[in-house]
Amino acid sequence: MKGGLSIRLRLSLWYSGVLLAGLALFGLILWISVRQSLMTSLDETLDQRIRGAITVFEEETRQGSTAATIREELGEYADSIPEGRLLKVTGPDGQRVFPLESVPPLPRHGYRFRRKTDYVAGRRYEFYAAGSLDGVENLMGSLRWLMLWTAPLTLLAASLGGYWISRRALAPVDALTTAARTIGIGNLSSRLAVPATGDELERLAATWNQMLERLESAVHRLTQFTADASHELRTPIALMRTSAEIALRRPRTAEDYRESLQQIMDEAERTSRLVDDLLTLSRADAGRAQLSIERLDLVPLVSEVCEQGRMLASSRGLEIDVDLPGRPVEVEGNAPALRRLLFILLDNALKYTQPGGNITVSVSGSGPVTVSVSDTGVGIAADVLPHVFERFFRADPSRQRDAGGSGLGLSIAKWIAERHHATIDAESAVKQGSTFHVRFPGSNC
């Protein structure tokens, strides 16, 4: 693998390093404390030997023995104990008491020395004992040998074990990687197997799957949108082409040509509105449609849009009533976007209401700020009502194409409302009319 060691190897190396340091520290402490306790016990043995010599010395002095007898008794005592000949006793002026003959000094290395002062019959004597360190060194040697052999073996075994364990622990990660590699845009519906371990790996796999789900639905929406958009564009283009073909089939009067051209122009206008709507929605999807938000008064904005709508309304034999409060109703918003939203609702009300019907636009500033558009039109059946905000949705496609709807208006309205943190909803009863409410967050107080 490029770019460094695998987690497995790094874990094992760290583990071995820590273990090595631990073993070294443990070995050092063990070494020092064993040596210390061996020395202490050797010192005790030597002290014991000295105490024995003192007892003999005091006993003989108490009995009034001569110096030669004392020496003899000490000699016997020395012969009865190990390393007894390393005992030494000196008198008050440092003169030799035992042994009489001088002995060459012992090398300082390899021996342990002890000394004790004792007063016998008011005179000061020094008692010396020495012990070979051979026993201690032998034991320490064995301990060293043991440690030098077992430490690397332990380290090796533990490192191999650690590597094996981390390999086992990380195997599911490899499995996830392999599985994730096979997932592409073509098979976004496949999911990773989630190990039921209740640990980080289960969460990782589950999170991956959630992400795949989101991606899948986003891709699905996109493909659906593209397919619907192409389908929508095909119809008007085919109509324009047919109109032109028919007009060109044989020579016609100027009136006929005008009529054909008018048809083509109507379709072209419809198509360009559709393309505008598609652009708006795809910009919104890409998150590129920035709306600059400012504090604005809804009252003049609503009356302006209604004024525009009135011209359309009168041409269709409809009335628009406007019910506005007498004071400003302020919201945080983007004026052109809100105008567009309102126009979509008003345009729908005009499209789906029979001549003679009534349309009411109202703004309520008490409580949550709400803009409502009601009509006395065809209404929307309860089963399709939840779908009216979906893209390309039309309650009755055959009839409504004539009214000029592409089914994108309410999706755009919903998007604009969402960008204002507002909600949009509809109430409707078939043949009685519909009311759309846009509710802004907060209140106008």
Alpha-carbon gap, residue 39 to 182, rounded angstroms: 69
Site for ligand ADP contains 407 (CB under 6 A): yes
Give least dist CB 439 to ligand ADP, A. 17
Site for ligand ADP contains 12 (CB under 6 A): no
Alpha-carbon gap, residue 425 to 436, rounded angstroms: 6
Give residues 204-243 in contact with ligand ADP (rule: CB under 6 A): none
Q: Which stretch binds ligand ADP (CB under 6 A): 91-99, 266-274, 316-324, 377-385?
A: 377-385
Of the candidate residues 360, 400, 427, 439, the single one contacting ligand ADP (CB under 6 A): 400
Give least dist CB 410 to ligand ADP, A. 3
80 CB-near residues (< 8 Å, 6+ apart): none
Q: For residues 128 and 117, is the Cβ–Cβ distance under 8 A?
A: no
Burial, 223: exposed, middle or buried (Cβ in 10 Å; 0-12, 13-18, 19+)? exposed
Site for ligand ADP contains 395 (CB under 6 A): yes
Q: Which stretch binds ligand ADP (CB under 6 A): 12-20, 217-225, 239-247, 345-353?
A: 345-353
Of the candidate residues 38, 378, 416, 422, the single one contacting ligand ADP (CB under 6 A): 378
- E strands, 366-408, in order: 368-375
Give least dist CB 393 to ligand ADP, A. 5
Nearer to ligand ADP, 101 or 402 (CB): 402
Q: What number of chain residues touch ligand ADP (CB under 6 A)?
A: 23
User: Which amino acid makes up residue 285?
Assistant: D
441 CB-near residues (< 8 Å, 6+ apart): 368, 421, 422
Measuring CA to CA, which residue among 343, 319, 323, 349 is closest to residue 433?
A: 349
Nearer to ligand ADP, 42 or 312 (CB): 312
- E strands, 20-122, in order: 88-90, 96-98, 111-120
Q: Which stretch binds ligand ADP (CB under 6 A): 4-12, 140-148, 253-261, 378-386?
A: 378-386
Give residues 410-439 in contact with ligand ADP (rule: CB under 6 A): 410-411, 434
Of the candidate residues 52, 162, 309, 409, the single one contacting ligand ADP (CB under 6 A): 409
Site for ligand ADP contains 375 (CB under 6 A): yes
Give least dist CB 293 to ligand ADP, A. 24
Write out the DSSP string of 262-273.
HHHHHHHHHHHH
Alpha-carbon gap, residue 401 to 276, rounded angstroms: 17
Site for ligand ADP contains 56 (CB under 6 A): no
Q: For residues 131 and 111, is the Cβ–Cβ distance under 8 A?
A: yes
**Taking CB positions, which residue lies at the least distance from ligand ADP?**
405
Give least dist CB 331 to ligand ADP, A. 22
Write out the DSSP string of 42-68.
HHHHHHHHHHHHHHHHHHHHHTT--HH
Nearer to ligand ADP, 259 or 396 (CB): 396
- Six token digits for residue 342: 């309102």
Residues that bind ligand ADP (CB under 6 A): 344, 348-349, 352, 375, 377-380, 388, 393-396, 400, 405-411, 434
